[in-house]
Amino acid sequence: MKQRNGSRSLVGLLAAAVLTLSGCTHLDTPPSYAKGVHVDCGGKQDLTGSGSTAQANAMTHFITSYEESCSGKQLAYTASGSGAGVADFLAGKTDFGGSDSPLSSDEHKAAQQRCGGADAWDLPVVFGPIAITFNVKSTDVLTLDAATLAKIFSGAVTRWDDPAITALNGKMPAEAIHVIYRGDASGTTDNFQQYLQAAADGLWTKGAGKVFNGGAGTSAQGNEGTAEAVKNTEGAISYNEWSYAMRQHLDVAGIQTAGGVVHIGNDWVGKTISNVTIKGAGDDLVLDLSKVYAATTPGAYPILLASYELVCGKYPDAQAGKAVRAFMQSTVTDGQQGLAPLGYIPLPSDFQNRVAAAVNSIS
């Protein structure tokens, strides 16, 4: 009989707590920078974007905020994965791209051509915890650490009753592990592999990047696809942006860190993202998550992504630039309200000030 006092219950309770208490506690208090917002609703009527599936649930919220702020404007976003979003943006097929990994140096060079000689910027708009989701019929309680995750996702550990897992959990069922990974080029994959590379004591030798390098398991497309596969596959394990785990009511593992076992929680600014810093130059606001991956603070959740919008600092089409600026103004102000119930972490005030200044410079 499956235990029911663990991680799936935790996901449900946290979501319910955020929804219930959002009007009276810090869990979803509107940020001060979202009050008295002015959006300069200029530019063309229809915008297009594509990319990150991790930010797709937040993007629906951002689009609503934009279209309410700028009557008559419309935005169509295709959740195709970070790799596709970068490719579409660089090819000029979209007005902006969504990605959970910043542009590489080669992509920045290609973006200059797409942007008519201007620089492209990585502008963070939201944070998303990456949940380790699983489906084991006998339990919904699971603890894993980076070293064990590295062994599972590289194929070195293939059964739930492997000693590496039972050492953390006690008795586990004698059944096979079914790894589910992202088959598309994915910023979620990149961030998960960066975490393994940073925190698994040298046991992850596969590198990082948008392509899954573990060599084990079965692929699925997008966070939606991997979440659905976990839900429908006995013995499955995967990595999902938390909003998808919430929507599918998936079991979520606690993560053993140097600071203890950590579950996805609500004290994001105080603990989980307190060590995030900006390493990008000028208005290219690339974030450094390396200290998050190697978290030692009790209660600091270590597997995190920052989701970016990829924009031109100056657009060849001035009407496109004005519309992108309006969308981004709405997104980093009013659009930051109501993200916590969706499973996201809004921008803290110090980051938002930098992002808003860059957004206002888009032309």
For residue 5, the surrounding DSSP H or E stretch is: none
CA distance 257 to 262: 7
Angle between helices 187-199 and 82-90 (to 10 degrees): 120
Amino acid 31: pLDDT: 87
Angle between helices 318-331 and 349-359 (to 10 degrees): 170
Strands 143-145 and 254-257: parallel
Same fold, 7-16+129-270 and 18-127+306-359: yes
Pick left, alpha or beta for residue 9 (phi over 0 → left; psi -120 to 50 → alpha; otherwise beta): alpha
Please give the CATH superfamily to which domain 7-16+129-270 belongs.
Periplasmic binding protein-like II (3.40.190.10)
SS3 content of the chain, % helix, strand, coil (to 5): 40, 20, 40
Q: Which residues are annotated as a binding site for phosphate?
A: 52-54, 82, 100, 186-188
Residue 336: CB atoms within 10 A of its CB come to 27
Phi (first) and psi of residue 349, to 5 degrees: -60, -40
CA distance 345 to 28: 10
CA distance 26 to 267: 9
Beta bridge partners of 237: 134, 179
CATH 3.40.190.10 correct for 18-127+306-359: yes
- Per DSSP, the residues of 7-45 read HHHHHHHHHHHHHHHTTTSGGGPPPGGGTT------S-S
Residue of 281, 333, 280, 267 lying closest to 306 (CA atoms): 280
Could you list the pLDDT tens digit for every one of the 363 residues in the chain?
454 444 444 444 343 333 322 222 344 677 889 888 899 999 999 999 999 999 999 999 999 999 999 999 999 999 999 999 999 999 999 999 999 999 999 999 999 999 999 999 999 999 999 999 999 999 999 999 999 999 999 999 999 999 999 999 999 999 999 999 999 999 999 999 999 999 999 999 999 999 999 999 999 999 999 999 999 999 999 999 999 999 999 999 999 999 999 999 867 777 889 889 999 999 999 999 999 999 899 999 999 999 999 999 999 999 999 999 999 999 999 999 999 999 999 999 989 999 999 999 999
Biggest CA pair distance of the chain: 63
Helix (H, G, I), strand (E, B) or coil at 215: coil
Amino acid 4: pLDDT: 43
pLDDT (tens digit per residue) in 315-363: 999 999 999 999 999 999 999 999 999 999 999 998 999 999 999 999 9
Q: Which residues are annotated as a binding site?
A: 52-54, 82, 100, 186-188
Phi (first) and psi of residue 154, to 5 degrees: -100, -5
Q: What's the pTM?
A: 0.90
Instruction: Give me the residue spans of the domains in the chain.
Output: 7-16+129-270, 18-127+306-359
pLDDT (tens digit per residue) in 170-222: 999 999 999 999 999 999 999 999 999 999 999 999 999 999 999 999 999 99
Helices (H), the chain: 7-21, 56-69, 82-90, 105-114, 146-153, 163-169, 187-199, 222-232, 242-248, 290-293, 318-331, 349-359
Q: In what order do the strands lie in the sheet with 143-145?
A: 143-145, 254-257, 260-262
Token output for 34: 């979202």
Token output for 194: 């960066």
Vertex 24 angle, CA 19 and 29, to 5°: 75
User: Is residue 50 within 8 Å of residue 185, measured between CB atoms?
Assistant: no
Helix (H, G, I), strand (E, B) or coil at 141: coil
350: Cα within 13 Å, side-chain hemisphere:
8
Amino acid 270: pLDDT: 79
Amino acid 266: pLDDT: 67
Residue 12: CB atoms within 10 A of its CB come to 12
User: Is residue 307 within 8 Å of residue 128, measured between CB atoms?
Assistant: yes
Token output for 84: 């596709």
User: Is residue 188 within 8 Å of residue 55, measured between CB atoms?
Assistant: no
CA distance 185 to 168: 32
Q: How far is CA 108 from CA 83, 99, 121, in A?
A: 14, 14, 9
